[in-house]
Amino acid sequence: MRCAAALPDVPTRPDVPDALITALRQATGNRYRVLRRIGSGGMADVYLVEQETLGRPLVLKVMHAHLARDEEMRERFRREAESAARLVHPLICVPFDYGEVGEMVYLIMPFLGGGGLADLLARQRTLPPVRVAEVGAQVATALDHAHRHGVVHRDVKPDNVLFDDDGNAYLTDFGIATAQFHARLTASGRAMGTPHYMAPEQAMGRTLDGRADLYAVGVMMYECLVGFPPFDAADAFAVGYKQVHEAPVPVAEVNSEVPSALAAIVMRCLEKMPEARWQRGADLAGALEKWLYEAGARRDARVRTGTPSGSALPVQLTAPAPTPAQPRPSPPAPGRT
């Protein structure tokens, strides 16, 4: 028997605004409308916001409150904004704004709608060799710019590579970068970074240069090609020990379908001694672009490597462009052969 009696009215609680979102709006002067939380990392929560004046989507990174109470961590977060803001490059994600209101510390960043390399690997595990070379060349190009301006990233990893809607790779998160214009924050001998992507000298807490970042690019490309990084262990110390003392299994032995020339480029990144690696990001990008050219790689009538799609600086398809270390020869003087 079914009951036909009407249910009594039950008073409902009115929607209560999220306290954190309300605080964010107040902290940013109501310049940004907070839409939703889209992620979280070890240092910050990430929200999708809309700029009220222009109606464009942006990203709001808010430092975790317990870290914001630590002066060193606040300074490190601020330096992410300062370091990246000095690096004006089409493949580096540059912050638009930075602010501190009490314990609320935040960055405003561009919104890139193509997701991240970490998410892509979580879905697909591996990427086609051509795509790996494209991403590696773009990240190496961005790093070359950073290194030439005195900034070593120190935390290059899939989480810090984002894509726009056209699939171009952008380098982001300079939170633990070291720069010539910064005093050292940490004591000598303290390793900062993510163990799986640390160069041997980084795992030992030594002074770094840009070649440590290129080692990390090699780790990323290795992982993209075979499905896992070259070293893994139960804890960070054990991973760091392997980075210093063990040789990585060659790419070709893990996945024989990877083209040998591309595998050789990746393995050179993973040399233990910095002087045995690619010496500049431009050198690595040039090698990857050359491989793409020789492999006949084409996508939408261009190779997506050194410049984003739609850029005013197209990547040549007739031959690999020379690196900055190898400028084009000057034309002969008039009247001379």
Cite the active site residues: 155
**Which H or E run includes 169?**
strand 169-171
Cα(219)–Cα(213) distance, integer angstroms:
10
- What CA–CA distances, in Å, run from 113 to 53, 164, 167? 20, 5, 9
Contacts with 70 (C-beta within 8 Å, 6 or more apart), sequence order: none
Q: In what order do the strands lie in the sheet with 97-101?
A: 32-40, 44-51, 57-63, 104-110, 97-101
C-alpha dihedral sign at 111, 84, 311, 295: negative
Instruction: Give me 292's structure tokens.
Output: 């793409």
- Give dist(CA 269, CA 258) in Å, integer: 16
- CA–chain centroid gap for 187, Å, is 25
Backbone angles phi, psi at 72, to 5 degrees: -65, -40
Decide: 164 and 308 in contact? Cβ < 8 Å. Answer: yes
CA distance linking residue 143 with residue 280, whole number of Å? 9
For helices 260-269 and 129-148, angle between their N-to-C axes, nearest 10 degrees: 30
| CA dihedral sign of residues 281, 283, 288, 289 | positive
Q: Which residues are paired to 45 by β-bridges?
A: 40, 62
